[in-house]
Each structure stands twice: as structure tokens, then as C-alpha cells.
């Protein structure tokens, strides 16, 4: 597959920022605690599904202190329509317990500390930091991975390597780029039947022949 040129990268950067500079996550949350839980639940699960589950969860467990002492089966019952709900239930309880024990009930807004929490890997930590603090970080989910490959920005085989490549190539406004690439991949450059007629990046697409644009 052809790679994007330096000129392409600059133009793609500008087009994403122009279009998505004000973009935010579609996950619904009121504070850092709710955001961490929502992002953790959203792994391999749609934001729409997470937004259906979390109101009841947050009503019953409004803070880390309450969630830390929750019954595992009760949490499983609340999130059982979410993918991998058994592991996610264990993880968010473990997350809350560490937040209470180590951070006095306050979510740490530092990526290195965030990844010490149950169920919070690098991607989740970066998403939380991007959304909550506007940090100049990149997070690679399935949408960002797909878009970056279709645009010739990366040919890396893993999300972690793709993240490093995008950070190196784009350098700044990464928070807006991340949000933009997520929304672009979710609604336009979809995995199946991408809406190429609605795409504003067609001239940079390296796979458009596949979709008969």
C-alpha cells in the first residue's frame, strides 16, 4: 500500500482539525470517575451500548468508594449486555478499590498512574487524558487503526505501534485528531460499506479502488 507523503500528512492534519476541532467523546459522563468507567466498558463495545448501561450503574455506585465495595455479581448483572462483562465487572471494582486505597477516592489525571488501575491500559488512559484534560496524546481504537491504514498514515500491525507512528507524524493537536479519526471512522470511513461519497479525504485514500469510488 502507498504511504502518505509529508505534504499529504500536513493536509490531512489540517482537514481533520478544521472539521473536528470541537469534537468530544460520545460517551456520557459527569466527572472523571464516570469517564474512566465508561471508557473501560467501551472496549470492544459501542458507546451507544455503554450509554445505555451506565446511568443505572452510576446511580447505584456514584463514586469509587461505593463501587469499591460492590458485589461482583451485582455489577455483572448491571453490565451483562456489554462485551466481556465478567472481566470488566472485576476490573472496574479493582479500579475503584485502588483509587480509594491509593488516591483517596480521586481519579489520578496522569497516564502513568491511570494505567495502574484495574482494566485501564494505555489506550484507555490516553482516551481519558485526551477527553478530560485535552492532553496532546493519541489513542488508537479500531476506528483510528482502520482510518490510519486506509489513508496510508501507518502500516503497523498493532495499535501501540500505530499510535507511535501517528504521534511522530502529526506531533500536535493530537487530542482533536484522535476524536476526529474516531468519528470519521465511526460514521464515514466505516469497516463495511464506507460512505466514500461523503468523504472529505478521498484524494488521500490508498484503498478507494477496493470500494469502487
Domain pair 6-23+137-211 / 32-133, same fold? no
Indicate whether 207 pLDDT > 90. Answer: no
pLDDT band at 160 (very low <50, low <70, confident <90, very high): very high
CATH of domain 32-133: 1.10.340.30
Mean pLDDT of 136-162: 95
Please give the biggest Cα pair distance in the chain: 56
pLDDT band at 211 (very low <50, low <70, confident <90, very high): low
Q: Are 84 and 43 in contact (CB under 8 A)?
A: yes
Mean pLDDT of 11-33: 94
Give the pLDDT score at 2: 80
Give the pLDDT score at 114: 96
Give the pLDDT score at 24: 87
Residue whose C-alpha cell is 494505555:
122
Torsion angle (degrees, nearest 10) of CA 122, 187, 28, 20: 80
Give the pLDDT score at 5: 92
pLDDT band at 210 (very low <50, low <70, confident <90, very high): low
27: which 3 cell numbers?
460517551
Give the pLDDT score at 22: 87
Q: Are 141 and 182 in contact (CB under 8 A)?
A: yes
Indicate whether 169 pLDDT > 60. Answer: yes
Over the chain, what is the mean pLDDT?
Answer: 94
47 is catalytic: no
Rounded CA-CA distance 213/207 in Å is: 9
Sketch the domain layout of the chain as residue ranges: 6-23+137-211, 32-133
Of 179, 97, 170, which is closest to residue 140 (Cα–Cα)? 179
Give the pLDDT score at 213: 41
* Of 8, 73, 88, 141, catalytic: 141
C-beta neighbour count of 3 within 10 angstroms: 12
141 is catalytic: yes
Rounded CA-CA distance 28/193 in Å is: 28
* Of 2, 74, 123, 197, catalytic: 123
Give the pLDDT score at 44: 87
Give the pLDDT score at 183: 95
Give me the helix-helix angle, 142-150 and 159-170, nearest 10°: 60
CA 126 to the chain's CA centroid: 8
Rounded to two decimals, what is the model's pTM? 0.88
Q: Are 102 and 128 in contact (CB under 8 A)?
A: no
What's the fold here for domain 6-23+137-211?
Endonuclease Iii, domain 2 (1.10.1670)
Amino acid at each position: 500500500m502507498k504511504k502518505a507523503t509529508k505534504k499529504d500528512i500536513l493536509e490531512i492534519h489540517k482537514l481533520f482539525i478544521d472539521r473536528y476541532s470541537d469534537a468530544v467523546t460520545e460517551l456520557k459522563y459527569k466527572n472523571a470517575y464516570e469517564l474512566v468507567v465508561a471508557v473501560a466498558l467501551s472496549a470492544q463495545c459501542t458507546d451507544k451500548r455503554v450509554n445505555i448501561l451506565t446511568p443505572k450503574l452510576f446511580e447505584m455506585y456514584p463514586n469509587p468508594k461505593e463501587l469499591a465495595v460492590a458485589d461482583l455479581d451485582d455489577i455483572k448483572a448491571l453490565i451483562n449486555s456489554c462485551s466481556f462483562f465478567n472481566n470488566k465487572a472485576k476490573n472496574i471494582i479493582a479500579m475503584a478499590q485502588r483509587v480509594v486505597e491509593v488516591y483517596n477516592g480521586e481519579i489520578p489525571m496522569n497516564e502513568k498512574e491511570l494505567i495502574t488501575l484495574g482494566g485501564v491500559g494505555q489506550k484507555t488512559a490516553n482516551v481519558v487524558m485526551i477527553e478530560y484534560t485535552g492532553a496532546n496524546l493519541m489513542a488508537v481504537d479500531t476506528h483510528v487503526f482502520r482510518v490510519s491504514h486506509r489513508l496510508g498514515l501507518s502500516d503497523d500491525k498493532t495499535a501501540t505501534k500505530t499510535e507511535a507512528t501517528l504521534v511522530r507524524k502529526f506531533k500536535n493537536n493530537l487530542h482533536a485528531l484522535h476524536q476526529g479519526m474516531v468519528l470519521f471512522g465511526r460514521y464515514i470511513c466505516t469497516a463495511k460499506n464506507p460512505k466514500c461519497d461523503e468523504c472529505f479525504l478521498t484524494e488521500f485514500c490508498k484503498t478507494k479502488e477496493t470500494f469502487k469510488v
